[in-house]
Amino acid sequence: MENSSKEPIIKISDLYKSFGDLDVLKGVNLNVYRGENVVVLGRSGTGKSVLIKILVGLLTQDSGIANVLGREVSELNESELRDLRLKIGFSFQNSALYDSMTVRENLEFPLVRNVPNLTRAEIDEAVETVLEAVGLLQTINQVPSELSGGQRKRIGIARTLILKPEIMLYDEPTAGLDPITCLEINELINEVKEKYKTTAIIITHDLTCAKATGDRIAMLLDGIFVRQGTFEEVFKTEEERIKSFYDYNFIQ
C-alpha cells in the first residue's frame, strides 16, 4: 500500500526501455517513500536491474520519468549526477569489488575521492565503522579473491555505506549464495535500514529475501509492474503467472 500523504523520494512513471528489438521496460510506474524497503520481484531477464541502473544514470530510459530526490536523472548534467550519486548506494550483483585493492583500499577509495581533507585517523575510523557494521572487520587487509561470495557482498554493501547514502539500491543481494548466507544478507539489509535510515529498492527473484526485507513488493512481469503491495497482498491472488512464480520459487 503506497503512502499518499508524502512525496515519494523515488518516482518512476511510465518508464520505457528497450535494447534493439527487445522491449525490456514497457511503461513502469513505481513510487518509493522515505524509509521504506521496496522489493522489485521478478524472473531473471525481466529488466529489474535495468530499472535501478536508470535510477543512477548508468542507463538512460527511452521515455518516461525516473525522478530521484526531486531530480529527473536523465536531465542532470555531469556535476549534478555526481552529487546525486553521492546520495545513492548501489550494491552490485557480483559485488564489483576492485580486484587490485585490499578491502581497506576498496572502502577508502570512494571516501577519499569524494570527501576532501580527511585525516588518516578519520579515514581509518570510517573504514572500521562500516566494516564493523557488516561484521567483517577481520578482513580489512585481505584482497577480494580471498573472500567468500557472502563476504564479498557484505564488503560491497560496506563500500556503499561509507558515503552514508540516503538511498540504497541492491541488485540481487542474495544471488548465488547458500541459504544461511542469504539469511545473513537479509538481516544485514534490515540492519542497514535501521542504522543508516536508508530507503531501499531491492532487486531480487528470491521470495525469501523479498519477504524478509521488503516493506512493499512490486512484481515485475513482462516489462510492467503487475502487482504492488505487501508480500501477502501480492501473492494472495489467483493470477496464474504470479502463482506459478511463487510455486516455482518455493520448489527451488
Partner 1 sequence: MSTPTGKKHVFTKNLDFAFLSVYNGFVFMGRFFREAFRGRMETQEIIKQCYAIGNKSLLLISLTGFITGMVFTKQSRPSLAEFGATSWLPSLVSIAIVRALAALVTALISAGKVGSSIGAELGSMRVTEQIDAMEVSAINPFKYLVVTRVVASTIAIPILMCYCGMVGLAGAFLNVTLTEGTSLQTFIQKAFEQITFLDIGTSLIKGIAYGFTIGIVGCYQGYNAKKGTEGVGKAANSSVVISMFLIFIEEVIIVQVSNYFRV
Angle between helices 103-114 and 149-161 (to 10 degrees): 20
Give me the residue label for grid cell 520519468. Answer: 65
In whole angstroms, give the CA distance from residue 201 to residue 234. 17
Question: Near partner 1 by CB under 8 A, which window of 24-32, 49-57, 202-210, 244-252?
Answer: 49-57
User: In this complex, which beta carbon is closest to partner 1, that of residue 96 or of residue 123?
Assistant: 96
Distance CA(33)–CA(150), nearest Å, equals 29
Rule CB under 8 A: say whether 99 interacts with partner 1: yes
Residue from 9, 56, 130, 182 binding partner 1 (CB under 8 A)? 56
- For residue 198, the minimal CB distance to partner 1 (Å) is 15
60 interacts with partner 1 by CB under 8 A: no
193 contacts partner 1 (rule: CB under 8 A): no
Q: Is 86 helix (H, G, I), strand (E, B) or coil?
A: helix
Strand partners, 203: 40, 171
Residue 230: φ, ψ to 5°: -70, 170
Kindly indicate which of the ranges 40-48, 83-91, 172-180, 197-205 contains the residues binding partner 1, using the contact rule CB under 8 A.
83-91
User: What's the CA gap between 243 and 235, in Å, rounded?
Assistant: 7
- CB of 205 vs partner 1, minimal distance in Å: 18
* Contacting residues toward partner 1, per CB under 8 A: 53, 56-58, 82-83, 85-86, 88, 90, 92-94, 96-99, 109-110, 113-114, 159-160, 163
